[in-house]
Structure 1
Amino acid sequence: MNNLLAQITVLAAPDFNSRGVVQWAVQNIIPLVLLVVGIGIIASARKGQMSQNAMTVTNIMLGCVVIAGAALFYGFAGSIATFVFRG
């Protein structure tokens, strides 16, 4: 009886679509964050702080490269492991 109840509970559980959440974040949150960063860079450029702006832009670009590299490794992890540890 207990096993049957567990199976019914699993079948009745809602299906959570995490792709929709990720897609919403990519479409809405990331552009807003980039907008805030861009406004901050422009505001500090008006004050004559170009070296700090260059450092900020460099850090943002490096962060994007690291995130893209992580996504690449995540997407092709199986192929990379097969290539490296062929045997």
Structure 2
Amino acid sequence: MTSFVTLIVTAAPEINSDGIVAWGVRNVIPIILLVVGIGIIASSRKGQMSQNALTVTNVMLGCVIIAGAALFYGFAGDIAGFVFQKQ
């Protein structure tokens, strides 16, 4: 069974997702931030400043979490090598 799985894994095509990720960063993320910003401005016109502050805080925390995940994704090999370094 393991040789069958190994055969499938070795026969799988390599997918280069760099172009897809770059397109998403360039096009999708600014549109999402635009929609969030318009929503915050629209609700601030109604006088709901405390809810707007909470929304902005949540958006900023979400961005920090996404940046942290991207950092760990980009440097996962280096981090694992540092943590599990043999002496």
**Shorter-chain-normalised TM-score: which range?**
0.7 to 0.9
1:51 CA drift (Å) = 0.7
Partner residue, 1:48? 47
Is it true that 1:32 corresponds to 2:34 in the alignment? no
Give the CA RMSD over aligned residues. 1.9
TM-score (norm 2): 0.75
Larger Rg: 1
Unpaired runs of at least 5, structure 2: 1-10
Q: Structure 1 CA distance, aligned partners of 2:41 and 2:71?
A: 32
Q: Structure 2 CA distance, aligned partners of 1:78 and 1:54?
A: 38
Taking a change above 3 Å as real, the CA distance of residues 54 and 25 of structure 1, as seen in their structure-2 partners, is: same
1:36-80: CA deviation from partner (whole Å, max 9, x where unpaired): 100000010111101110110011111111111111111111111
Seq. identity, %: 73
